[in-house]
Amino acid sequence: MNQLTASDCLCRQVVRVLEEGRPGHAAAQPLFAVFRESVDNGVFVGLVTAHNIMQHPDWIFADLTEHREFLFIAPNIGVRRALKIMDQHGVDALPVLDQQLFVGVVTRQSILEMLLQREHLLLMESRQLKKMLDVEHEQVVSWSEKLARLHGASCSLLSVFSVLAHTSVQDDLLQTGIESLSKLLEARYGAIGILDESGALKHFVYTGISPEQAQSIGQFPQGKGFLGVVIQENISLRLDDMSKDLHNIDFPAHHPSMKTLLAVPISHHGRVYGQVYLSDKEGGESFSKNDEELALSFACSLSLVLDNARKMEEVKQARQSLDYMAHFDALTDLPNRTLFKDRAQQAISHAQRNGGMVGILFLDLDNFKVVNDTIGHTLGDALLKRVADRISDCLRDGDTVARLGGDEFIVLLPDISDIQDAANVASKILESLTPPLNIDQHEVFVSISIGISIYPNNSKNMDGLLADADGAMYHAKKLGKNNYQFFTPEMNRSAQNYMKFEKHLRRALEQNELVLYYQPQVDIETGLIIGVEALIRWFSPELGMVGPEDFIPLAEETGLIVPIGAWVLKTACTQARFWQQNGLPIRVAVNLSSRQFHQVQNQQQSRHLLLDAVLNALDETGLPPDLLELEITEGILMQHLETTMEILNTLKSIGVRLSVDDFGTGYSSLSYLKRFPIDGIKIDKSFVNDITTDPSDKAIVAAITVMAQQLKLEVVAEGVETAEQLDFLRELRCQYVQGYYFSKPRPADEFLLLLQQGKLPFS
C-alpha cells in the first residue's frame, strides 16, 4: 500500500462556522473550521478546538483564531511528518490546505484510526493472498503430475527434434516426424502442412494413406474448413465426430472417411507457420487433452526450427545491407562519421592537389535536451529527422551532411573558393531553422550553433579540422547560441581553459575544496545578529581562490549546481545545528539556483530533488525547520508557476522560511508577493550602493521598504558598506541590513566569535 498522507486521515467531526459566530451550545463539538464570509467557499482563517472555547467561552470565533498561530500542512504530507509538526508546535490537530483552499483537518486521533483501518485491510489482504496461494499450489501439483506423464511420451520424439534442430526443413525429416507422432498417439492418419509467406501451402507430408489413395484424392487440403480455423485463429481443435461439425467442408472427394480429429497450429510468438493434424485413434476412442498437449509440444519444437530458418534468411538479408548500415545513420539516413571522414579525406586530397579550400561546419542543436525531455524521445527523434532534412535542403549536390550522434551534425563543403562560401551556407542553415517545426501537432522552435573550420587555413588534416570546428561551435554557444563562429587560435585556448576549469570543478566536491563562509544579518536598531547567509567559496590547490561569480555559472550550465546545492544545504544546516546546540540559535539563509529549484528525478513521478535535499538536510542534522531560510530569485518564482507554488507550499508546511533574493532586479510584482508564501525580501545591493547620491535608487529602496511593511514582510538590505547608507536605511525604518560595514563573510570558526558577541557595534 502507498504511504499514508494527511489527505487520507481527515477527521470527520469538523464543524464549519463563520468567524463572527459564537460557540454557544455547540462548544461540545471537538473541532471548528472558521471561515470568512462563507462556510462553503469563504477564506479559511483558522482552527478552533473545544479546549480553546473552554478557555474563552464568550469570545467569537474570529477572536479565538486571531490569538492562535496559523499552522497548516499540505494534503500530500506524510503522517509521520504531520505528527512531527504537531509535536513541534504542541497541538493535536492541523488544518489541511491545498493551495490555500481548505481540505479538512487531521488529528492525532484520525491518524490513529486510519492506521488501525490500514492494519485491518492488510490483515484481510494477507488472508486473501493465502487462499490464492493454496489454490495455486493445488494447480502446480496437478500440472507436475501431468508433465511427468508427458515426459515419458516425449522421449520417443527427441531423436526427431534433435535432427530438425540442426538442419533445414526437408520433406523427409517432416515425414519422419509425423510418422513418429502418429505412432506415439496411435493415430491412423496424420499430416503436416507448412505455409509460405503468402499463406499458400509450401510443404505437405502425410501418413496412413497409400500412394494409390493419394493419387485418387488428387489434391491436398486447401485449408478452407476447420483446418483453416486452426491457422487463422491460431488455436487447437479436438473433435469427437467430424460429421457433426459445421466446418467440415475441407476434405476432397475420394478422401478416406475420418471421424475424430486433433489439429494444432505450428506457431511461434503469434506467427503461424502451418499445422499438424491427426485422425482416428487405433482403439476408436477420442483424442485426449494429454494427446493435444503432446501434439502441441511437437508443433512447438517444429516451430522453433521454422523460426530459426526464417531468422537465417533475415540474417542473409541483413548481411546484404551491412555496407549501408556501416556508412549511414539509422535514424536520419544521413552519412555517419565513417563515410563522412572518407569523403572529407578525398576532398582534402583533391584540394591539396589543386590548391583549393574545404569547409567543415560542426552543428549542435541548442537546448535539445530540454526540448527532448519536453516532447519525449520519440518525438525528439522525429525532430532530428526534420532538422536533417532542412540542413540537407541548404546544401549543393556535392556537399555532404552527416550525423555524428545525438543532436550533432557535420557538413562538408568541398571546393569552396572563399571562406565566405562557408559563412553563406551557415547563414542559410540558421535561417532555415527559424520557422517552427510541426512535430505530431507540436509546434517546436529550434536553433542551432555552428562552428566553422577551413582547410588549409586552420588545419591540414581531417581530425584537426573536426576539432577546430567543434571548438568554434562551442564558442558560438558561449556567445548566446543560434549563430556561427569561425575557428581562431585564441578561441581554441579559451575552450581548453574552460574544459580544464570544468574538470577541476567536478573534482572540487570529492576533494573537499568547497567551503562555506557566513555573513551576518543585523537588526538595524539594536545591532543584534538575527540571521546569517551561507556563501560558498572554492579553494583549488591548482587554481587558487575562485569566486562564486566565476564558477557558479559553470556549475549551472553543467548541472553540477544540483549536487553542490545539496552539499551547501546539508553543510549550512549542520553548522546552524552546531551553533544551536551550543546555545547560539541563529537562522541560516541558503541561496537556491534555478536548475536546483526545478530539477526532477523522474519525469513520470515528478519527484523534486530540492524537496528531497531539504528534508534530508533537516532530518540528518536535526536542525529545526524555522532556523533554515531559502533565498529564491524573482526569476525562479516566475518559472513553471504551478510547480513553483506546489514546492513553496510544501516547504512552507515543513516550517522552512522563504525569502526573495535580489528583489527589484526582476519582476518586482505585488501580485506574486501576495500569491506566494513569502516571509521576506532582500533588496539587491545594486540599489543600496548609490542610495545616498542617486535619487532613483533612493526612490526604489524607499518604495520597496514601504511596500514590504504594508505586506508585513521582513526586509533585508544587502551591500551596506557606509555609515551614510546605514543612516538612510534607518530613516526608512528598514528592519535588517547586511554588508561589509558590519562584517565581511567569514569562515565558521571566525563567525563563531561574532555570534558569541551577540551584538555588532555600529553608529
pLDDT over 50 at 146, yes or no: no
Higher local confidence (pLDDT), 471 or 149 = 471
Residues 191 and 234 in one domain: yes
Mean pLDDT across 315-341: 83
pLDDT at 334: 94
Q: Cβ of 447: how many Cβ atoms within 10 Å?
A: 14
pLDDT over 80 at 162, yes or no: no
pLDDT over 60 at 248, yes or no: no
pLDDT at 149: 44
Which domain-ending residue is among 296, 318, 340?
318
Instruction: Indicate the number of domains in the chain.
Output: 4
Mean pLDDT across 360-383: 86
Nearest CA to 574 out of 609, 620, 539, 531 is that of: 620
User: What's the angle, vertex CA 39, arms to CA 35 and CA 40, rounded to 5?
Assistant: 130
User: What's the angle, vertex CA 486, arms to CA 480 and CA 487, rounded to 5?
Assistant: 105
pLDDT at 605: 39
Cβ pair 64, 48 in contact under 8 A:
yes
Residues 289 and 337 in one domain: no
pLDDT at 363: 96
Mean pLDDT across 716-737: 91
Contacts of 203 (CB under 8 A, 6+ apart): 169, 171, 174, 192, 193, 194, 274
pLDDT over 80 at 1, yes or no: no
Higher local confidence (pLDDT), 41 or 250 = 41
Phi, psi at 514, each rounded to 5°: -90, 140
pTM of the model: 0.47
Residues 720 and 576 in one domain: yes
pLDDT band (50, 70, 90) for residue 361? very high
Mean pLDDT across 345-363: 94
Segment among 76-85, 135-144, 395-404 with least mean pLDDT: 135-144
Question: pLDDT (tens digit, 9 = 90+) per residue, 615-672?
Answer: 999 999 999 999 999 999 877 777 777 778 888 899 999 999 999 987 866 555 566 6
DSSP state of 526: T
Is residue 527 assigned to a domain?
A: no
Give 339: exposed, middle or buried? Use CB within 10 Å, 0-12, 13-18, 19+.
middle
Residues 280 and 332 in one domain: no
pLDDT at 242: 80
Residues 365 and 254 in one domain: no
User: What is the CATH number for 584?
Assistant: 3.20.20.450
pLDDT at 172: 75
pLDDT over 70 at 159, yes or no: no
Mean pLDDT across 390-412: 94
The span from the CA of 84 to the CA of 155, in Å, is 67
Phi, psi at 433, each rounded to 5°: -95, 5
User: Helices (DSSP H) in 108-157: which residue ranges?
Assistant: 108-154
pLDDT at 602: 40
With H, G, I as helix, E, B as strand and everything else as coil, classify residue 199.
Answer: coil
pLDDT band (50, 70, 90) for residue 692? confident
| Sole residue written with cell 491436398 | 220
Mean pLDDT across 538-543: 91
pLDDT over 90 at 465, yes or no: yes
Cβ pair 238, 276 in contact under 8 A:
no
pLDDT over 90 at 247, yes or no: no
Is residue 692 assigned to a domain?
A: yes
pLDDT at 496: 65
Is residue 136 assigned to a domain?
A: no
The span from the CA of 130 to the CA of 134, in Å, is 6
pLDDT at 223: 59
Nearest CA to 199 out of 264, 277, 272, 305 is that of: 272
Higher local confidence (pLDDT), 158 or 36 = 36
pLDDT at 377: 82
Contacts of 291 (CB under 8 A, 6+ apart): 185, 238, 262, 278
HSE (side-chain half, CA atoms, 13 Å) at 52:
27
Segment among 148-152, 466-470, 520-524, 601-605 with least mean pLDDT: 601-605
Cβ pair 697, 660 in contact under 8 A:
no
Residues 310 and 335 in one domain: no
CA dihedral for 625, 662, 715, 637, sign (positive or negative):
negative
The span from the CA of 40 to the CA of 282, in Å, is 83
Mean pLDDT across 255-267: 86
Contacts of 352 (CB under 8 A, 6+ apart): 456
pLDDT at 139: 75
Q: Which three cell numbers stand for residue 322?
A: 551491412
With H, G, I as helix, E, B as strand and everything else as coil, classify residue 403.
Answer: strand
Segment among 88-92, 218-222, 263-267, 314-318 with least mean pLDDT: 218-222
Nearest CA to 448 out of 464, 433, 467, 468 is that of: 433
pLDDT over 70 at 355, yes or no: yes
For residues 44-68, one letter each, b for 16 or more C-beta atoms within 10 angstroms of the residue's C-beta and e for the rest, the string is bbbbbbeebbeeeeebbbbebbeee
User: What is the CATH number for 204?
Assistant: 3.30.450.40
Mean pLDDT across 684-695: 88
The span from the CA of 60 to the CA of 56, in Å, is 9
User: What is the CATH number for 40?
Assistant: 3.10.580.10
pLDDT at 445: 87
Contacts of 580 (CB under 8 A, 6+ apart): 586, 623, 624, 627
pLDDT at 179: 87
Tell me the residue range of the domain where 483 lies.
325-487
Residues 88 and 200 in one domain: no
Residues 346 and 477 in one domain: yes
Ranges 305-309, 607-611, 683-687, most confident: 683-687
pLDDT over 50 at 294, yes or no: yes
Q: Cβ of 626: how many Cβ atoms within 10 Å?
A: 14
The span from the CA of 672 to the CA of 681, in Å, is 12
Residues 243 and 275 in one domain: yes
The span from the CA of 257 to the CA of 247, in Å, is 16
pLDDT at 153: 42
> Percent of the chain beyond pLDDT 70?
89
Higher local confidence (pLDDT), 726 or 442 = 726
Is residue 515 assigned to a domain?
A: no
The span from the CA of 582 to the CA of 333, in Å, is 68
Cis ω before 252 (30° cut-off from 0): no
H or E, element range at 95: strand 93-98
E strands of 222-320, at which residues?
237-239, 261-268, 271-281
The one-letter amino acid at 719: G
Which domain-ending residue is among 436, 467, 487?
487
DSSP state of 694: -
pLDDT at 626: 95
The span from the CA of 97 to the CA of 650, in Å, is 10
The span from the CA of 595 to the CA of 200, in Å, is 62
Is residue 547 assigned to a domain?
A: no
Mean pLDDT across 741-756: 92
Is residue 701 assigned to a domain?
A: yes
The span from the CA of 456 to the CA of 356, in Å, is 8
Q: Which three cell numbers stand for residue 733?
A: 525604518
Question: pLDDT (tens digit, 9 = 90+) per residue, 375-396?
Answer: 788 888 999 999 999 999 999 9
Give 313: exposed, middle or buried? Use CB within 10 Å, 0-12, 13-18, 19+.
exposed
Residues 391 and 466 in one domain: yes
Cβ pair 737, 709 in contact under 8 A:
no
Which domain-ending residue is among 457, 487, 517?
487
DSSP state of 608: B
Mean pLDDT across 67-82: 88
Is residue 433 assigned to a domain?
A: yes
Residues 337 and 307 in one domain: no
User: What is the CATH number for 465?
Assistant: 3.30.70.270
pLDDT over 60 at 403, yes or no: yes
With H, G, I as helix, E, B as strand and everything else as coil, classify residue 121.
Answer: helix
Strands 442-444, 271-281: pairing is unpaired
pLDDT over 70 at 249, yes or no: no
Averaged confidence pLDDT in the chain: 85
| Sole residue written with cell 489454490 | 135
Residues 270 and 341 in one domain: no
* DSSP bridge partners of 94: 106
pLDDT over 70 at 259, yes or no: yes
Is residue 158 assigned to a domain?
A: no
The one-letter amino acid at 139: Q
